[in-house]
Structure 1
Amino acid sequence: MESPEPAATRRHRMVEALRHEGVRDPRVLAAMDLVPRERFVAADLADLAYEDRPLPIHADATVSAPSIVARMTEALELTGTERVLEVGTGSGYAAAVLAACAAEVVTLEYDEDLARSARDALDATGFGAVEVRHADGALGAPDRAPFDAVAVTAMAPELPPALLEQLAPGGVLVAPVGPDRDGMLLRCRAGLTEELGPVRFVALRGAQTR
Structure 2
Amino acid sequence: MEWQTEEFGSSHEGRPRALLADGTEPGPVYFDIGSGAEIPKSTDWWVYDGTLGAPEATHLRAACTCGWRGDRLYPLDWTEVSRRHPYEYDTSALYEDWTRHISDVESRSVPLPTDIEATIEDLDRRLTALADQAPLAALRAVTSLERVTADAGREAAYNIRADELTWETISKALGLTEDAARSLLFRFSFRR
- Give the TM-score band, short-chain normalised: under 0.3
Q: Relative contact order (C-alpha < 8 Å, sep 6+): which is higher?
A: 2
TM-score of the two chains, using structure 2 as the length reference: 0.21
Whichever structure has more helix as a proportion of its residues is 2
Whichever structure has more strand as a proportion of its residues is 1
TM-score of the two chains, using structure 1 as the length reference: 0.20
Based on CA coordinates, which of the two structures has the bigger radius of gyration?
2
